[in-house]
Amino acid sequence: MKELEGEIRKVSTVSKIKRFGAQKEEIYIYVKPEKLTQFNLKPSNILASFKLQESDNYSGQLDNGDLVLPIHLPPRFESEEDLAEQIIFNDQDNNIIRLKDVAYIERRYEKPTNYIRNNGNNALLLSLEMQKGNNIVHFGDDVQEVLDTFSEKMGDEVKFNTISSLPHVVDKSISHFLKEFGIAILAVVIVTMLLLPFRVAAVAGVSIPISILITLGIMQLVGIQLHIVSLAALIVVLGMVVDNAIVVIDSHVEKLDHGETPWNAAWKAATELFIPVLTASAAISAAFFPLMFFLTGIASDFVGTFPLTIGIALLISMLVAVLLVPFMCYVFIKTGLHKEEKSNDKKSVLDHIQTIFDNALDYCFKNPKLTVIGGILSVLIGVLFLMNVDQKLFPAMERNQFAIEVYLPEGSSVSKTEKVIDSLENILKKDERITNIASFIGNGSPRFNALYAPHLPAENYGQLLLNTTSDEATIEILDEYSEAYKDAFPGAHVKWKQLAMG
């Protein structure tokens, strides 16, 4: 293990390495009462013999049945043989009695109160942390390269399993964001192309990647890393980003329909809409900024970058909408949508939508009482729905991993906890959707998720951390097993937990 830690420390971005599951070896000295009687000695003679040796280091204890006395050994004791040769009595005739004459010495592991298993085998666990300011995906690649090389070196003597890999989760999240990002751009372009000419759709579509790429650059400058929360904020703000550009484009096209030149239409659209676009962006940002001031603790650490990311993205989208989009409109959009010579019989999809909206608006103004009643009913229905919505501070994470926690009554032994863990392992290992089972008996796993706090050591507690073949398999297993085995272990409370985002 020390050799592996040494290889991992060669990775320059590694911050901390912690080892879990190691069991301590202890040396036990069993005093033979009949020998003490034969030599007319007492246990206190053994203790006194060590005190005479300038023994400063606490090394254990002596239990004589009445008292538990501390033992301090000098640093010269390095093995059981050194202890065995310790002189505990020397009479006037120079008869020397050594410790080995009145006791036997045994080196063995203490009975553990907590330990770790992986797929049924005893295991040691290494937890790695990255230095701040580095790319966690690259960090994961560097560490994995070290593990692969070391595994080849060790052969079949040692097996390595990765229980939780945050670099993999982040890489997957980024890939998911890029997919969502591409879908968002494609959706906007398709919708605008269905309703508007190609050039109008192209200008609106191009404004999205420009705004997002500039936002990513600003985030890097102010120290906001690309992680789950900032990615979520960018996905949330995608729709808002394109709104600013579409408002300016629509104004430009409307002015072209009223006979303005492309140049005049472009600068007038930007100047006239600057205050409305600024106000809208500020209002949306203001809705999120209270999160920075009213959340505390781990919640603040988790979502602290969410409002900042949204604010930066909206600011950039506003600047792109009033500075770059007007120029692109001037270059690419030279004519309006409605020409004077256009026949009234030939209407576009946009015309039909506009007609439906105009008729609905006209009906609302003609029937103000019904409109007000309808608005009030909508609010009341919304409140009723809100009261029945499940509330969580953090959403569940789509991840090919979940946890099982086992609680036994206070005072239960670790062996009793182990029996429940063994039963769960035997049930779960038969499921092909489960790829790895890590068991923590008498203790919880180290922190691997910001929102999953480690459990303090307790003999009546156990935990399983399971990896599955896919995110979907995780949900399926939780739904199946939590219902089927909720009462399968009398006297034990078993919690099946999907990991929260963190």
DSSP per residue over 200-232, as a string? HHHHHHHHHHHHHHHHHHHHHHHT---SHHHHH
Of 150-159, 214-223, 420-429, 459-468, the range with the lowest mean pLDDT is 150-159
174 pLDDT more than 80:
no
Give the pair of three-digit tokens for residue 382. Answer: 């919304």
- CA dist., res. 303 & res. 306, Å (int): 5
pTM reported for the whole predicted model = 0.64
- What would the mean pLDDT of 474-482 be, rounded to a whole number? 88
Give the pair of three-digit tokens for residue 436. Answer: 């790895």
pLDDT recorded at residue 299: 65
- What would the mean pLDDT of 220-240 be, rounded to a whole number? 80
For 32-118, list the strands marked E by DSSP: 57-63, 68-73, 87-90, 96-98, 103-109, 115-118
Give the pair of three-digit tokens for residue 13. Answer: 């971005």
Q: Measuring CA to CA, how many Å separate 19 from each of 47, 168, 467?
A: 35, 21, 21
Residue scoring higher pLDDT (298 or 383): 383
Query: Whose CA is closest to 45, among 104, 102, 107?
Result: 102
498 pLDDT more than 90:
no
Helices (H), 113-197: 136-154, 166-195
Burial environment of residue 4 by CB neighbours within 10 A (0 to 12, 13 to 18, 19 or more):
buried
- CA dist., res. 425 & res. 224, Å (int): 41
Average pLDDT, the chain: 82
25-109 CATH = 3.30.2090.10
- CA dist., res. 425 & res. 120, Å (int): 8
Question: Residue holding tokens 């501390």?
Answer: 70
Q: Where in the chain is the domain with CATH 3.30.70.1430?
A: 113-146+391-502
Q: Does domain 168-336 have CATH number 1.10.10.10?
A: no
Of 32-46, 257-271, 362-376, the range with the lowest mean pLDDT is 32-46
Looking at the domain 113-146+391-502, which fold is it?
Answer: Alpha-Beta Plaits (3.30.70)
pLDDT recorded at residue 103: 84
Q: What is the DSSP letter of 500?
A: B
Q: What percent of the chain has pLDDT over 90?
A: 17
Give the pair of three-digit tokens for residue 317. Answer: 């989208």
| 281, amino acid identity | S
Q: Reduced to 3 states, what is the DSSP secondary structure of residue 109?
A: strand
367 pLDDT more than 80:
yes
- CA dist., res. 496 & res. 478, Å (int): 7
Q: Reduced to 3 states, what is the DSSP secondary structure of residue 335?
A: coil
pLDDT per residue over 274-324, tens digit each?
999 899 889 888 888 887 777 776 667 667 788 889 999 999 999 999 999
Q: Where in the chain is the domain with CATH 1.20.1640.10?
A: 168-336
Contact 242, 188 (CB under 8 A): yes
Question: Residue holding tokens 């080995």?
Answer: 100
pLDDT recorded at residue 379: 94
**What contacts 346, CB < 8 A, 6 or more positions away?**
none
Q: What is the DSSP letter of 19?
A: E
- CA dist., res. 477 & res. 499, Å (int): 13
54 pLDDT more than 60:
no
Of 280-294, 388-402, 413-427, 435-449, the range with the lowest mean pLDDT is 388-402
| CB burial readout 437-469, b (16+ within 10 A) else e | bbbbbbbbbbebbbebeebeebbbbbbbbbbbe
Burial environment of residue 289 by CB neighbours within 10 A (0 to 12, 13 to 18, 19 or more):
middle
pLDDT recorded at residue 343: 47
pLDDT recorded at residue 298: 62
Residue scoring higher pLDDT (87 or 284): 284
Burial environment of residue 12 by CB neighbours within 10 A (0 to 12, 13 to 18, 19 or more):
exposed
Q: Band of the pLDDT at 50, cuts 50, 70, 90?
A: low
Q: Band of the pLDDT at 178, cuts 50, 70, 90?
A: confident
pLDDT per residue over 284-297, tens digit each?
888 888 877 777 76
Residue scoring higher pLDDT (476 or 229): 476
Question: Residue holding tokens 């309703």?
Answer: 195
- What would the mean pLDDT of 162-168 be, rounded to a whole number? 83
